[in-house]
Amino acid sequence: MLILFSQHPLSRSVRATAMLLTLGIVVSLFVGGAQPVAVNLIPEPWDKFAHGAIFALLAWTIGVASGLPGKRRLVVALLGSLLVGMLDEWHQMYLPGRQAGWLDLAADVSGSLIGTALLAIERIRRS
């Protein structure tokens, strides 16, 4: 962890903010999603857009927070956000009033790919 924070101060603050955003998103998904108010909070088909946006942001924050260079950042961002998406859908199977769905998972995957693509574009622009 110390190695992650040994670079330029601005970089450290950006990565620390990304870590906090990542943690906030994950806690919101698992703790907030388990609350009764979360049942049908966003009606279909808008819930798919919400899934996509949340997981695009999650992939991007994971990648930035990782502090890894190059393609490793992209791999960690994509795999990390996909893992959270699969765990979230699995978690929903056990919550009253909630249901896991393939379309929700597809929206999570799409968002994860978009967030990872944004990281790749950022990497290309910096080169």
Please give the Cα distance from 120 to 87 (Å, whole number).
25
Q: What is the pLDDT of residue 26?
A: 97
Cite the DSSP H helix spans in the chain. Answer: 9-30, 46-66, 70-92, 102-126
Please give the Cα distance from 11 to 4 (Å, whole number).
10
The answer to whether residue 5 is domain-embedded is: no
The answer to whether residue 103 is domain-embedded is: yes
The answer to whether residue 1 is domain-embedded is: no
| Domain count within the chain | 1
Q: What is the pLDDT of residue 10?
A: 52
Return the closest-CA partner of residue 27 out of 49, 52, 54.
54
Backbone angles phi, psi at 82, to 5 degrees: -65, -40
pTM of the prediction? 0.88
- Determine the residue type at 105: L
Which tokens is 10 given?
């601005």
Q: What is the pLDDT of residue 43?
A: 87
- Convert the pLDDT of each residue in 56-99 to its tens digit: 999 999 999 999 999 999 999 999 999 999 999 999 999 888 88
The answer to whether residue 93 is domain-embedded is: yes
- Domain housing 82: 10-126
The answer to whether residue 2 is domain-embedded is: no
Q: What value does the mean pLDDT of the chain take? A: 90
- Convert the pLDDT of each residue in 11-52 to its tens digit: 889 999 999 999 999 999 999 999 988 888 888 889 999 999
